[in-house]
């Protein structure tokens, strides 16, 4: 690569991520994050109680060029010095993904640089490879976000194997829907966490779905329905008076299921390290309980800084280090994929 011909330094990668409602660009230098810029549209979508794909795509379009500029500026380099460009191509909202894919293609084509396609979930897993204290495979990853909830065996840098995943709603989706019902706004995870601080997690005995045997799949839709029923049976005054208790109990049920399945996976399998990723991994009670579980079992736990849990482009750059760079013009016909 032109930048450091003859040197053994890792390539500089400019990464873009626009799969949902965050417009993100980052520059990574091996496992080091040189810059990681995220523009959240949460306030825009809060108005609608959730992400509106076309609104997200339009905002990505407005923001993406300046976010890339800021990422390059903060990294202290210009596009010329970048060795390759990476972008999330799947899964996500198709109209949102397309903005990132087309921007990355244009940037790469204009400078004749290679392009690397990244799977968003692999990005969440690969966030664990970043400094500080990079975690190297093998490890067990719990990824919980607004679109996905899964346990993955990470045996190599280039891929992951799904051991269990949600059969219905994702953990973050359940928190978002629960928060909407409780009138706490969007995104629901942080709103529920804040409200729950003043509540009693044992106030409402919400169900924790546990599949039979040693299954590692998750299910959150029954929990959501249970909240709907409990809420329906409370009068207006009680709904307000018990909102913190409802939030705390609901959050505890989501966290308990995540922790229970994580413990099952640890019991099943000889792991000595665990990584948490995805937006829900920003949750304080989840982090505390994972720390308690891992310390009890003598397993190393990699907790990411919050900005590497929620959607970001540094994690896409991290996965791209182990992806396949495609030389110009091989990527000009690339598309995005929702699934
Ligand atoms: O990974 P992410 O930013 O985007 C997706 O790939 O979906 O995750 C977003 C999800 C949302 O459902 C949001 O409510 C949840 O992560 N989340 C949280 C917290 N921060 C974000 N859930 C619980 N506690 C938090 N502090
Ligand atoms: Zn995500």
Give per-residue pLDDT as tens, 126-146.
999 999 999 999 999 999 999
Position 8 scores a pLDDT of: 61
Tell me the mean pLDDT in the region 42-69: 88
Tell me the mean pLDDT in the region 271-285: 98
Gap between the Cα atoms of 285 and 319, Å rounded? 28
Decide if pLDDT at 262 tops 50.
yes
Long-range contacts of 333-336 (CB under 8 A, 24+ apart): 334/89, 334/101, 334/105, 334/115, 334/117, 335/89, 335/98, 335/101, 336/89, 336/90, 336/92, 336/94, 336/97, 336/98, 336/100, 336/101
- Whether 175 is in the pocket of ligand 1, judged by its Cβ within 6 Å, is yes
- Side by side, the strands of the sheet bearing 139-144 are 159-165, 149-156, 139-144, 273-277, 300-302
Tell me the mean pLDDT in the region 21-43: 94
- Whether 174 is in the pocket of ligand 1, judged by its Cβ within 6 Å, is no
Gap between the Cα atoms of 199 and 242, Å rounded? 8
- Whether 311 is in the pocket of ligand 1, judged by its Cβ within 6 Å, is yes
Tell me the mean pLDDT in the region 35-45: 87
Decide if pLDDT at 213 tops 80.
no
Give the number of the ligand closest to the Cα of residue 146: 1
Measured in Å, how far apart are the chain's first and last C-alpha atoms? 33
Tell me the mean pLDDT in the region 210-239: 92
Q: How far from chain centre, in Å, is Cα 303?
A: 13
For the record, the structure tokens of 334 come out as 């690339």
pTM (2 d.p.): 0.95
Tell me the mean pLDDT in the region 192-198: 98
Which atom of ligand 1 is found nearest the CA of 175?
14
Taking a C-beta distance cutoff of 8 angstroms, is the pair 281, 142 a contact? yes
Q: Prior bond to 187 cis, omega within 30? A: yes
- Whether 176 is in the pocket of ligand 1, judged by its Cβ within 6 Å, is yes
For the record, the structure tokens of 203 come out as 């106030």
Using left for φ > 0, alpha for ψ between -120 and 50, and beta otherwise, residue 128 falls in: alpha
Gap between the Cα atoms of 138 and 161, Å rounded? 11
pLDDT digits (tens, 9 = 90+) for 286-301: 999 999 999 999 999 9
């Amino acid at each position: 690569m032109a930048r450091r011909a003859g040197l053994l330094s890792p390539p500089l990668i400019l990464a873009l991520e626009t799969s949902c409602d965050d417009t993100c660009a980052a520059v990574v230098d091996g496992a080091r994050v040189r810059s990681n810029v995220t523009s959240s549209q949460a306030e825009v979508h809060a108005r609608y109680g959730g992400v509106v794909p076309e609104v997200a795509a339009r905002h990505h379009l407005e923001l993406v060029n300046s976010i890339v500029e800021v990422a390059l500026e903060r990294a202290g380099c210009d596009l010329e010095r970048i060795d390759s460009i990476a972008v999330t191509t799947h899964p996500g909202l198709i109209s949102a993904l397309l903005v990132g894919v087309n921007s990355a293609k244009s940037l790469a084509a204009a400078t004749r640089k290679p392009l690397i396609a990244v799977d968003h979930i692999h990005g969440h897993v690969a966030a664990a490879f970043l400094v500080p204290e990079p975690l190297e495979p093998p490890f067990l990853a719990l990824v919980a976000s607004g679109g996905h909830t899964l346990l993955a065996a990470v045996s190599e840098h280039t891929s992951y194997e799904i051991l269990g995943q949600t059969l219905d709603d994702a953990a973050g989706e359940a928190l978002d829907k629960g928060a909407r019902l409780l009138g706490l706004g969007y995104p629901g995870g942080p709103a529920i966490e804040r409200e729950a601080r003043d509540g009693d997690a044992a106030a409402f005995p919400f169900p924790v779905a546990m599949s039979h045997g040693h299954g590692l799949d998750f299910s959150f839709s029954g929990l959501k329905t249970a909240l709907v029923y409990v809420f329906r049976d409370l009068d207006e005054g009680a709904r307000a008076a018990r909102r913190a208790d409802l939030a705390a109990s609901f959050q505890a049920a989501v966290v308990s299921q995540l922790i229970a399945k994580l413990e099952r996976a640890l019991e099943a399998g000889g792991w000595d390290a665990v990584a948490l990723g995805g937006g829900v991994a920003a949750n304080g009670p989840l982090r505390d309980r994972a720390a308690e579980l891992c310390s009890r079992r003598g397993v190393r736990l990699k907790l990411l800084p919050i900005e590497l849990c929620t959607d970001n482009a540094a994690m896409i750059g991290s996965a791209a280090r182990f992806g396949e760079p495609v030389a110009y013009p091989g990527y000009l016909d690339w598309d995005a994929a929702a699934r």
